[in-house]
Structure 1
Amino acid sequence: MLDHFQEAETPKNAWDILERLFTKKNDTRLQLLENELLSVTQKDMTIPKYFHKVKSLCHEIADLDQQLRIGDARMKRIIIHGLRPEFQSFVVAIQGWPTQPSLSEFENLLSGQESLAKQTAGVSVSAVPNQENEALLRAKEKEISNPTTVTT
């Protein structure tokens, strides 16, 4: 450590050297975190665990470098990219809404969908033709996006 301070002519120079030494960004750690973030997938994680994993990685990256802070919109795109295939049609339906949900609302919607899928795991939906499924989904989207509309 003393080698670093040989060039310091004033106490201010010494403090500047200390600051430079101890506030260095850990570029290797940052690169590893970014690689992990871009390759993270849901696999067998539940929706809340998957969201927590992505958010944790994003916060760690921001802690290392504030300029690399990842906003909610990008975080949502990263999450969507790593979701299991069974959530893709649900996500596409949500993306068609006129007002997009916040990150926490998006997590709640996906958690609800996951719970619903677990509850109906024993019930086969394939008995209903695809056109009927799509019509039901469009009707539900309309109902959610226009809460003042009364349906009978």
Structure 2
Amino acid sequence: MTSLQSVDEMKKLNNNNYNTWSTYIISYMLRHDIWAVVNGSEITQSEADDAIGTLRKWKIKVDKAMCTLKTTIEADVLEHIYDAKISKEA
């Protein structure tokens, strides 16, 4: 099993490997502290509550998660998430 240090080491999602890919991608995202924004357990606060940059940090995590997803999916599967704005939608 790969050490999941880089998404480049992971086989991309295709039409035949969802279970294996999802196990790897969840493990990778847990390790890099971005899984909570994908599964919805970490949600943003309003901008008014953002005294210490919480919203900014959340947006960075969302962008990292989306980038991780898009770089680990084969092109023919990627077309299904083109319109997703946040990783939870993807």
What TM-score, normalized by structure 2, do the two folds share? 0.45
More helix by share: 1
Task: Using CA pairs under 8 Å that are at least 6 residues apart, name the structure with larger relative contact order, 1 or 2.
Answer: 2
Larger radius of gyration: 1
Q: Compute the TM-score of the two structures, normalised by the length of structure 1.
A: 0.30
